């Protein structure tokens, strides 16, 4: 118990000495031992590595798991040293919903068949995403975490020890400086003016005491200097190991890119296969949709004239079948848009901001660039998924899903 009390008192004294030295340095009242330029560069490089590694780690986690609640759950499981439960990916969940919807609508219907095909592709995409997340977590995230939780903690610990050794060294330098100044003062100004010789004896004794204090301070300075040099060398070796960390992280980064490349290649191939499966039925679906829209928006056709009368009229009987809409050319009502014949309505035009680039499929459509502003309006008889867009002297059909309509 006595030893512990003495140790506690000694530690408290050391802490107080360091605190005084640190405070005086901040106030500019004490000198500070400066590290060499190479050592300072190593410290700055280590801090830079730590900061950017943390940012890259956090953002990669966001990329792999955008849901913050799921990330918190995984973090808690990791800290509790428990296995993270398997979680269904968004693609796999979407595939499940599409399959269930197809069963309700009827797997034999065109919509049901398409839902089944798209759902199967979404399931494969979800499985590929799961594999990519697992590979990226092992090959990229784990090495970054190991550096922050292992090597960097060791470096930080040794840097704190070095900082304490430096404070002890500077405190010893300050004590030696004060002891020498007091010794010189005591030796240069002895008290000869006093009539009693006892005062002179006391003055000589004080000079001897300060000489002993100087020797003691020099001894402590040599010890602290040795400890500081040893700790500086240990810290230097750890800081120089940052170069090896960069090499390791570079290898992990290559593995991450390779995993990401394989993932996107798989996704691209899955979508190509799905596009081929839907290619044959796509034209029929859109054709049926267009005919259905045209039938629903067109007025009832006039009764067909007798066959004999039709034979005597070249093409005139077809004109009354097409509805005539004021301000809208017949080509729009027939489903074929000629941009040169379209005139904007007197009212009803709006401004819209383009969300994504769009490449025109034919001359009736208007190519779009992301973030540009265009004027849009609708015409009677048009597909509700399309609008007429104008940009300067150019005009054409534009898809509504690529636009953000502004008030």
Tell me: do 243 and 102 sit in the same domain. Answer: yes
Do residues 56 and 144 make contact, with C-beta atoms less than 8 angstroms apart? yes
Tell me: do 261 and 372 sit in the same domain. Answer: no
Task: Give the rounded percent of residues in the chain with a pLDDT score beyond 90.
Answer: 44
Q: What is the pLDDT of residue 261?
A: 96
Tell me: do 379 and 269 sit in the same domain. Answer: no
Specify the CATH number for the domain of residue 400: 2.30.30.40
Last residue of one domain, picked from the residues 286, 309, 328: 286
Tell me: do 239 and 366 sit in the same domain. Answer: no
Nearest to 174 by CA among 310, 56, 22, 57: 22
The number of helices, as runs of H, and strands, as runs of E, in the chain is 11, 5
Tell me: do 116 and 254 sit in the same domain. Answer: yes
**Residue 306: left if φ>0, alpha if ψ -120 to 50, beta else—which one?**
beta
- Specify if 334 maps to a domain: no
Task: Express each pLDDT in 198-245 by its tens digit.
Answer: 444 445 566 677 788 888 888 888 999 999 999 999 999 999 999 999
Read off the pLDDT of each residue in 9-38 and give the average, rounded to a whole number: 75
Pairwise CA distance, residues 102 & 46, whole Å: 57
- What one-character DSSP code corresponds to residue 402? G
Task: Express each pLDDT in 365-394 by its tens digit.
Answer: 999 999 999 999 988 888 888 999 999 889
What order do you get walking across the sheet with 394-399 strand by strand? 394-399, 386-391, 373-377, 350-354, 403-405
> For the chain, what is the domain count?
2
Stated pTM of the model = 0.58
Tell me: do 94 and 233 sit in the same domain. Answer: yes
Tell me the pLDDT of the chain averaged across its residues.
79
Whether the CA torsion 175, 176, 177, 180 is positive or negative: it is positive
Q: What is the pLDDT of residue 186?
A: 72
Query: Which segments of 45-175 are extended strands (E)?
Result: none
Do residues 200 and 192 make contact, with C-beta atoms less than 8 angstroms apart? yes
Q: What is the pLDDT of residue 52?
A: 97
Specify the CATH number for the domain of residue 223: 1.20.1270.60
Identify the residue with better confidence: 185 or 199. Answer: 185
Tell me: do 267 and 357 sit in the same domain. Answer: no
Q: 386: domain range?
A: 350-406
> Residue with structure tokens 């796509």?
282
**Position 113 pLDDT exceeds 70:** yes
Last residue of one domain, picked from the residues 286, 319, 335: 286
Pairwise CA distance, residues 134 & 256, whole Å: 11
Task: Express each pLDDT in 34-90 by its tens digit.
Answer: 888 999 999 999 999 999 999 999 999 999 988 788 778 777 777 777 777 777 888
């Amino acid at each position: 118990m006595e030893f512990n009390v003495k140790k506690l008192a000694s530690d408290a004294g050391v802490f107080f000495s360091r605190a005084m030295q640190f405070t005086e340095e901040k106030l500019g009242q004490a000198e500070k031992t400066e590290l060499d330029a190479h050592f300072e560069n190593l410290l700055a490089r280590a801090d830079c590595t730590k900061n950017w590694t943390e940012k890259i780690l956090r953002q990669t986690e966001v990329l792999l798991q955008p849901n913050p609640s799921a990330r918190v759950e995984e973090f808690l499981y990791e800290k509790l040293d428990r296995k993270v439960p398997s979680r269904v990916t968004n693609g796999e969940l979407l595939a499940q919903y599409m399959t269930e919807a197809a069963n309700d609508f009827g797997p034999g219907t065109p919509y049901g068949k398409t839902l089944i095909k798209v759902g199967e592709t979404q399931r494969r995409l979800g499985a590929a995403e799961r594999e990519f997340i697992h590979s990226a977590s092992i090959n990229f995230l784990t090495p970054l975490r190991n550096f922050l939780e292992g090597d960097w903690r060791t470096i930080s610990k040794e840097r704190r020890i070095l900082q304490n050794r430096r404070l002890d060294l500077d405190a010893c330098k300050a004590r030696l400086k004060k002891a020498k100044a007091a010794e010189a003062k005591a030796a240069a100004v002895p008290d000869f003016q006093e009539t009693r010789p006892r005062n002179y004896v006391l003055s000589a004794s004080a000079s001897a005491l300060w000489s002993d204090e100087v020797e003691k301070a020099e001894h402590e300075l040599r010890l602290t200097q040795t400890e500081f040099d040893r700790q500086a060398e240990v810290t230097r070796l750890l800081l120089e190991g940052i170069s090896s960390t960069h090499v390791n992280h570079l290898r992990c980064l290559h593995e991450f890119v390779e995993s990401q490349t394989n993932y996107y290649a798989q996704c691209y191939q899955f979508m190509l296969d799905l596009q081929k499966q839907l290619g044959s039925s796509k034209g029929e679906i859109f054709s049926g949709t267009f005919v259905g829209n045209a039938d629903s928006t067109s007025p009832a056709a006039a009764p067909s004239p007798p066959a004999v009368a039709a034979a005597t009229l070249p093409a005139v009987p077809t004109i009354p079948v097409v509805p005539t809409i004021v301000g809208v050319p017949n080509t729009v009502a027939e489903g074929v848009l000629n941009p040169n014949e379209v005139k904007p309505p007197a009212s009803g035009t709006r401004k819209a901001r383009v969300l994504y680039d769009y490449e025109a499929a034919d001359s009736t459509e208007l190519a779009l660039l992301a973030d540009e502003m265009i004027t849009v309006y609708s015409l009677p008889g048009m597909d509700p998924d399309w609008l007429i867009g104008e940009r300067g002297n150019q005009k054409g059909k534009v898809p509504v899903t690529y636009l953000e309509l502004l008030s």
